[in-house]
Amino acid sequence: MSFKKRGISRRSVMKTGLAGILATGVSPMMFSRGAWGQEFCNAPTGDTVTLGFNVPLTGAYADEGADELRAFELAVEHLNGEGDGGMIPTFSSDTLTGNGILGKRVEFVTGDTQTQSDAARDSARRMVERDGAVMISGGSSSGVAIAVQGLCQEMGVIFMAALTHSNDTTGKDKRRYGFRHFFNAYQTGVGLGPQLGAAYGPDRRAYHLTADYTWGWTTEESVMAATEAQGWETVETVRTPVGAGDFSQYITPVLNSGADVLILNHYGFDGINSLTQAVQFGLKDRQANGKDFKIVLPLVSDLMAAGAGDAMQEVYGTSNWYWSLQDEGSKAFTASFGAKYGQPPSQAAHTSYVQTLLYADAVERAGTFYPPEVIRALEDYEFDGLGNGPTLYRGSDHQCFKDVYVVQGKAEPSNQFDLLEVVNTASRDSVTYDPAIFGGELGPYDPGMC
């Protein structure tokens, strides 16, 4: 019996085999974008897509959380083609057209992280499992961001971190599914150190009060390294519980410690409370070691400046962004946010808005919601027009690299919102570092199934 007799030739075997291979294996990858449809967590099937915004509405960072939520709502509005479009027209990518994401109308659900890691994980899980969120954003508190980022890696849902500043978020705890647009403590140190050295001189003695969790630790470490590089001496580092409220018992020892600078590694309500209480203790009017006593708040936002009032005047810090920046993106976003909410956006609002747009853009460029493809679209992505100048989403650690702003509390604000002044800019090159210094592993691209 020959093959010829039964009508089977070598050629027909080859043809059939090739057709089979194409039909069963390769073809979805080659001919059908988005054909991973059913193979990942919460793949959108209808004409809408749901995003999950996980922000603190209670706890020490609640002010920031409320502002993040405002920005998320605005971003969704703009993605759906409502309002003035905000930063979409100034964004260097032209994929966003006001037609939702990949033609699907954007909807969102929200959760309260309570500024606590376990509550944040619970609400993120609820948004993924119950509400079908295909992406989670939010944060406020690096402890929360790291906890939620880990969960998102397990579930195969992309986490676009908002307000998180610890080195660990894109350092030792980095994850393939986590992305951070916000700057970090290391970059704060690089930006702030030279400014402090120039303004206050080389021979200073610093006392640190530090929020006792990952963000506080890494900020203390980075600022300490940066100030010691300026010739400063660190007198003492004291850890304080998050949400302590009354910091008087920690501030009292500063008075007789021999320090002439107090560095408050506190944020949100903690930053407001510790700064105002330090000023109540007369530290700003004090002389030590023959010099004027100074207070530094390494990470500062206009929400904190508003809460601290006069106490913030002339205090140095760093910021990821400030609403009075004069580039086209910042002006467009501030105008849009101000018109809707009657107040300018904070840095927390800005990064939340930008992260939402960046996710939507990455999905559009990937042509699919399939997370590994969206991740690849974000990795090593270079963009501009979103308020921070040319920015790189570095692929090796998912950290954004852009200019860092050194700010100072204005001595004479011209209006209730004019609280900070950008006094210096640390260039993107100067704040870029080798990802190896913080270690960590991103982990696999393979999507988990929630």
Contacts to another protein from residues 343-362, by CB under 8 A: 344
Strands lying side by side in the sheet with 178-180:
105-112, 48-55, 135-138, 158-161, 178-180
> Residue 53, Cβ neighbours under 10 Å: how many?
27
Output the smallest distance, CB 381 to another protein, in A: 29
Q: Which is nearer to another protein, 383 or 405 (CB)?
A: 405
Q: Which residues of 163-186 are buried (b: 16+ CB within 10 A; e: fewer)?
A: bbbbbbbbbebbbbbbbbbbbbbb
27 CA to centre of own chain: 38
Asked if 252 is part of the footprint of another protein (rule: CB under 8 A), the reply reads yes
Selected from 323, 381, 383, 401, the binder of another protein by CB under 8 A is 323
Q: Using CB under 8 A, which of the segments 133-141, 276-284, 381-389, 441-449 binds another protein?
A: 276-284
Q: Using CB under 8 A, which of the segments 26-34, 139-147, 334-342, 358-366 binds another protein?
A: 334-342
Q: Using CB under 8 A, which of the segments 42-50, 125-133, 142-150, 266-274 binds another protein?
A: 266-274
Selected from 17, 98, 202, 241, the binder of another protein by CB under 8 A is 241
Q: Using CB under 8 A, which of the segments 99-107, 195-203, 285-293, 430-438 binds another protein?
A: 285-293
What is the rounded distance in angstroms from the CA atom of residue 241 to the CA atom of residue 212?
5
Contacts of residue 127, defined as CB under 8 A and 6 or more positions apart, other chains included, come to: 52, 54, 109, 111, 133, 136
Selected from 36, 200, 215, 250, the binder of another protein by CB under 8 A is 250
Selected from 57, 199, 392, 422, the binder of another protein by CB under 8 A is 57
What is the rounded distance in angstroms from the CA atom of residue 272 to the CA atom of residue 312?
9
Q: Which is nearer to another protein, 217 or 383 (CB)?
A: 217
Selected from 146, 272, 386, 406, the binder of another protein by CB under 8 A is 272
Output the smallest distance, CB 252 to another protein, in A: 5
- Diameter over CA atoms, the chain: 107
Output the smallest distance, CB 292 to another protein, in A: 13
Q: Strands 205-211 and 233-240, how do they pair?
A: parallel
Strands lying side by side in the sheet with 400-401:
381-383, 391-393, 400-401
What is the rounded distance in angstroms from the CA atom of residue 86 to the CA atom of residue 72?
12
Q: Which two tokens stand for residue 209?
A: 């009060």
Asked if 424 is part of the footprint of another protein (rule: CB under 8 A), the reply reads no
Output the smallest distance, CB 241 to another protein, in A: 7
Q: Using CB under 8 A, which of the segments 31-39, 69-77, 246-254, 420-428 binds another protein?
A: 246-254
Asked if 285 is part of the footprint of another protein (rule: CB under 8 A), the reply reads yes
Q: How many residues bind another protein (CB under 8 A)?
A: 43
Selected from 249, 290, 326, 436, the binder of another protein by CB under 8 A is 249
Selected from 2, 24, 38, 287, the binder of another protein by CB under 8 A is 287
What is the rounded distance in angstroms from the CA atom of residue 185 to the CA atom of residue 303?
19
Cα→Cα distances 124→73, 182, 288, 372, 393, Å: 18, 20, 48, 20, 24
What is the rounded distance in angstroms from the CA atom of residue 42 to the CA atom of residue 153?
14
Q: Which is nearer to another protein, 7 or 342 (CB)?
A: 342
Cα→Cα distances 301→6, 40, 65, 218, Å: 80, 37, 13, 18
Asked if 422 is part of the footprint of another protein (rule: CB under 8 A), the reply reads no
Q: Taking Cα atoms as reference points, which of 193, 195, 163 lies closest to residue 180?
A: 163
Asked if 314 is part of the footprint of another protein (rule: CB under 8 A), the reply reads no
- List residues near another protein by CB under 8 A: 57-58, 62-63, 236, 238, 241, 245-246, 248-250, 252-253, 255-257, 269, 272-273, 276-277, 279-282, 285-287, 307, 309, 323-324, 334-335, 337-339, 342, 344, 415, 417-418
